[in-house]
A and B are shown apart, each in its own frame.
Chain A
Amino acid sequence: MARRDYLIGKMGISLLTLLFVLLLDFLLFRVLPGDPVRAVIGRNIRISADVQSSLRAQFGLDKPIFLDQFVDTLGQWARGNLGVSWSQRRPVSEILISKLWNTLLLIGLGQLFSIIFGVMLGLLAGWKRKTPFDIGALTFSLIAWATPTFWLGIILLVSGSAWFGLPTGGIVSPANIGKPLHTVLPDLIRHLILPTLTFTILYLGEYMLIMRSSILETLSEDYILTARAKGMSNFQVLMRHGLRNAMLPMVTIIALNLGFTVSGAIYIETVFSYDGLGNLVQTALVKQDYPLLQGAFLLLAVSVIAANMLADFLYTYLDPRVKAN
């Protein structure tokens, strides 16, 4: 009961946040310089003022920004209509979706590996505290955490291609573009190795450090002593009583990262010429393609909010103490 109320409350907050973000997204691209109609007609200044105003009316731009234009826009967005890209002359939603999968693949793999290895490394380091293993893992993680994304990407790109002959960019080799997925899978994997590795190393350090301090704190709790008194081996105590409690702070961090990780993807996708959202945003910025940027911004904001919701759901599942307070 309490748990349901808690989740409903959280959903309410998420909805409010979403509304606010939509408003911001809407306003941001209204206050940027430039008239939308001008942008559509381009340099063709010979179009008469009458036609211009009828165009304005057609796009609803003659109505007051509040509430009519905002509500209109919300309606359009809700139907998946995010406008047309100025630079590509294609619907924004179509462009976003075509890139979304590539990015999800990269982020998904990167997060998966960094979570698995980060948690394992942190768990073992905390458990074997002050041993050479702990000190080694700690040093590695601190360095990995402090390394700039761009720099790490370039180093891995150079060494990976020079020593292992791995591809330097793209998602599949040019010859394989457009072929069915299962035939190009080995090629795809070869292309994914370096960007995924970069991603993994970048997040692994953070996860390891948090997991380590979390497990250290957990291991000093009374119920850990109880578990040992029951006759469990240290390893059993670690896995049965330590891990789940120590994962609690991790869940929040992971979910938040999932939302914000796209910004990390911008660098990595740029370095590896990886055809995903990050690359798209970068191009859109350079070309001042406002509708495309607005759509991308919307997508990112929604994914951050969704990731937060996910964290809340997971948290109530992992920690029965979470209640409406």
Chain B
Amino acid sequence: MNEKPLLRVRGLTTEFVTSEGAVARALEDVSFDVLPGKTVGLVGESGSGKTTTLMALMRLLPASGRITKGKVWFNDTNLLALSEREMRDYRWKSMAIVFQGAMNALNPVMKVGDQIREAILLHDLMDRGAAEKRVRDLLEMVGIAPARRDQYPHQYSGGMRQRAMIAMALACAPDILFADEPTTALDVMIQAQILQLLKEIQRALGLAVVIVTHDLGVVAEVCDEVVVLYGGKVAEYGSVDRIYNHAQHPYTQRLLESFPDINNPSETLASIPGTPPRLTQLPPGCRFEPRCHVKINRCAEVSPPLLEVEPGHYVACILREGKEANFQ
């Protein structure tokens, strides 16, 4: 872990104003690193803030949401301090994203190839001729016949659209690829293919990847590190090995228990009794307290900070307190 991180997320906090006017703190104090060429998995149940994290990193939150605190260091630049104009240069050129449920992420009235080329030309990376050649190369790389660049999205199958999205995400040779549940809308066979493709591309291009998934099998298969989110906070963060074999947070432990067979990726997370916290009325203590099976009295009063229990392994639980240092 002595290589310099590409992306350092520190204390990221975001709020949404809901339609009723209440403030929902969708993320609080989220911190993690992304090393060059490595894959980080973001896991957590629905509503835990996985998509919000990615959107905040790209500064693409909807109008109702805003980042209230934190820093996002890309190399030595704090992205949150940039103007919108400056931020636009980072989008797609430094960090690209494949959206959750990407079935409608392509413009239905524009040829697929044109949509890919548009990204290249937008950032002035090469002239038209070279860009056109790159479009074909990219399509080939993701397993789409280059001749299909002139087709429209509706002429592609679901899996092909996702491949096209990946090709598009690679168009400007980004350093980091965000993939928000890149396989959920697809059937199992195609899911495996897309995952395989992502792995190959990452290896070939030395790309850093942040992948959001419900699927612990996927995490075990592709990730180097895992961030477990619960109710908008990091519950546990560490290497895949540490998380799978030495999970310290009660929530992570329950997650792993409810997912016994990591070699069977078709299974998704079984539910843990209870419901996630309401983000508009957060409890003062640990967010997992109402559902925790090992809670103590103090859990309802004190919100546990993220502590380093082993080098590179962080846990936010009162039971692990005392002997460890704070996250830097």
Query: Real complex partners, A and B?
Result: yes
Q: Are B105 and A230 in contact (CB under 8 A)?
A: no
Q: Who on chain B is nearest to A226 by CB?
A: B105
What count of chain A residues pass the 8 Å CB interface test?
22
Chain A residues with CB under 8 A of B107: 223, 226-227, 241, 245
Chain A residues with CB under 8 A of B106: 223, 226
In the complex, what's the smallest C-beta–C-beta distance from B176 to chain A, in angstroms?
Answer: 13
Say if the beta carbon of A217 comes within 8 Å of chain B. Answer: no
How distant is the Cα of A240 from the Cα of B110 in the complex, in angstroms?
Answer: 10
How distant is the Cα of A244 from the Cα of B114 in the complex, in angstroms?
Answer: 15
Q: Who on chain A is nearest to B165 by CB?
A: A226
Say if the beta carbon of A50 comes within 8 Å of chain B. Answer: no
Q: Which of A225, A231, A319 contacts B99 (CB 8 A)?
A: A225
Q: Which of A223, A226, A232, A320 contacts B154 (CB 8 A)?
A: A320
How distant is the Cα of A244 from the Cα of B103 in the complex, in angstroms?
Answer: 19
Q: Who on chain B is nearest to A234 by CB?
A: B84
Known contacts A223-B104, A229-B91, A230-B91: A318-B122 contact under CB 8 Å: no
How distant is the Cα of A228 from the Cα of B119 in the complex, in angstroms?
Answer: 10
Chain A residues with CB under 8 A of B110: 241, 244
Q: Are B99 and A230 in contact (CB under 8 A)?
A: no
Chain B residues with CB under 8 A of A35: none
In the complex, what's the smallest C-beta–C-beta distance from B178 to chain A, in angstroms?
Answer: 9
Q: Are A223 and B108 in contact (CB under 8 A)?
A: yes
Q: Are A232 and B101 in contact (CB under 8 A)?
A: no
Q: Are B109 and A230 in contact (CB under 8 A)?
A: no
In the complex, what's the smallest C-beta–C-beta distance from A40 to chain B, in angstroms?
Answer: 57
Chain B residues with CB under 8 A of A236: 122
Chain B residues with CB under 8 A of A223: 104-108
How distant is the Cα of A319 from the Cα of B152 in the complex, in angstroms?
Answer: 10
What count of chain B residues pass the 8 Å CB interface test?
29
Chain B residues with CB under 8 A of A232: 88, 122
Please report which residues of chain B, range 132-160, place their CB below 8 angstroms from some CB of chain A when the two chains form the complex: 152, 154
Q: Are A245 and B101 in contact (CB under 8 A)?
A: no
Q: Are B109 and A244 in contact (CB under 8 A)?
A: yes
Q: Who on chain B is nearest to A222 by CB?
A: B104
Say if the beta carbon of B299 comes within 8 Å of chain A. Answer: no
Q: Are A231 and B122 in contact (CB under 8 A)?
A: yes
Q: Are B118 and A240 in contact (CB under 8 A)?
A: yes
Known contacts A320-B109, A321-B154: A230-B102 contact under CB 8 Å: no
Q: Which of A229, A231, A244, A318 contacts B123 (CB 8 A)?
A: A231
Say if the beta carbon of B89 comes within 8 Å of chain A. Answer: yes
Max chain B C-beta neighbours (<10 A), residue from A225, A231, A236, A240: A231
How distant is the Cα of A236 from the Cα of B88 in the complex, in angstroms?
Answer: 12
Q: A207-227 vs B: 1/0 string, CB under 8 Å?
A: 000000000000001110111
Q: Are A231 and B109 in contact (CB under 8 A)?
A: no
Please report which residues of chain A, range 238-264, place their CB below 8 angstroms from some CB of chain B when the two chains form the complex: 240-241, 244-245, 248
How distant is the Cα of A248 from the Cα of B152 in the complex, in angstroms?
Answer: 16
How distant is the Cα of A244 from the Cα of B108 in the complex, in angstroms?
Answer: 10
Q: Who on chain B is nearest to A320 by CB?
A: B152
Say if the beta carbon of B58 comes within 8 Å of chain A. Answer: yes
How distant is the Cα of A227 from the Cα of B96 in the complex, in angstroms?
Answer: 11
Known contacts A223-B106, A226-B99, A321-B152: A233-B88 contact under CB 8 Å: yes
Q: Who on chain B is nearest to A236 by CB?
A: B122
How distant is the Cα of A241 from the Cα of B115 in the complex, in angstroms?
Answer: 10
Q: Are A229 and B60 in contact (CB under 8 A)?
A: yes
Q: B193-226 vs A: 1/0 string, CB under 8 Å?
A: 0000000000000000000000000000000000
In the complex, what's the smallest C-beta–C-beta distance from B268 to chain A, in angstroms?
Answer: 23
Q: Are B91 and A319 in contact (CB under 8 A)?
A: no
How distant is the Cα of A226 from the Cα of B55 in the complex, in angstroms?
Answer: 11
Known contacts A226-B99, A229-B60, A231-B88: A320-B93 contact under CB 8 Å: no
Q: Are B105 and A245 in contact (CB under 8 A)?
A: no
Q: Which of B58, B104, B109 contacts A229 (CB 8 A)?
A: B58
Max chain B C-beta neighbours (<10 A), residue from A226, A230, A231, A248: A230
Q: Which of A229, A230, A244 contacts B118 (CB 8 A)?
A: A230
Q: Are B108 and A231 in contact (CB under 8 A)?
A: no
How distant is the Cα of A244 from the Cα of B111 in the complex, in angstroms?
Answer: 13
Chain B residues with CB under 8 A of A228: 60, 91
Q: Are B109 and A318 in contact (CB under 8 A)?
A: yes
Q: Are B118 and A245 in contact (CB under 8 A)?
A: no
How distant is the Cα of A262 from the Cα of B72 in the complex, in angstroms?
Answer: 61
In the complex, what's the smallest C-beta–C-beta distance from A155 to chain B, in angstroms?
Answer: 40
Chain A residues with CB under 8 A of B152: 320-321
In the complex, what's the smallest C-beta–C-beta distance from A72 to chain B, in angstroms?
Answer: 48
Chain B residues with CB under 8 A of A245: 107-109
Known contacts A227-B107, A245-B108: A222-B92 contact under CB 8 Å: no
Q: Are A231 and B93 in contact (CB under 8 A)?
A: yes
Chain A residues with CB under 8 A of B109: 244-245, 248, 318-321
Please report which residues of chain A, range 68-82, place their CB below 8 angstroms from some CB of chain B when the two chains form the complex: none
Chain B residues with CB under 8 A of A240: 118
Chain A residues with CB under 8 A of B122: 230-232, 236
Q: Who on chain B is nearest to A247 by CB?
A: B109
Chain A residues with CB under 8 A of B101: 222
Q: Are A225 and B105 in contact (CB under 8 A)?
A: yes
Q: Are A320 and B108 in contact (CB under 8 A)?
A: yes
Chain A residues with CB under 8 A of B123: 231
Question: Which of A's residues lie within 8 Å of B, judged by CB?
Answer: 221-223, 225-233, 236, 240-241, 244-245, 248, 318-321
In the complex, 12 of the A-B residue pairs with CB atoms within 8 angstroms, ordered by the A residue number, are A221-B104, A222-B102, A222-B103, A223-B105, A223-B106, A223-B108, A225-B99, A229-B97, A230-B122, A245-B108, A245-B109, A321-B152
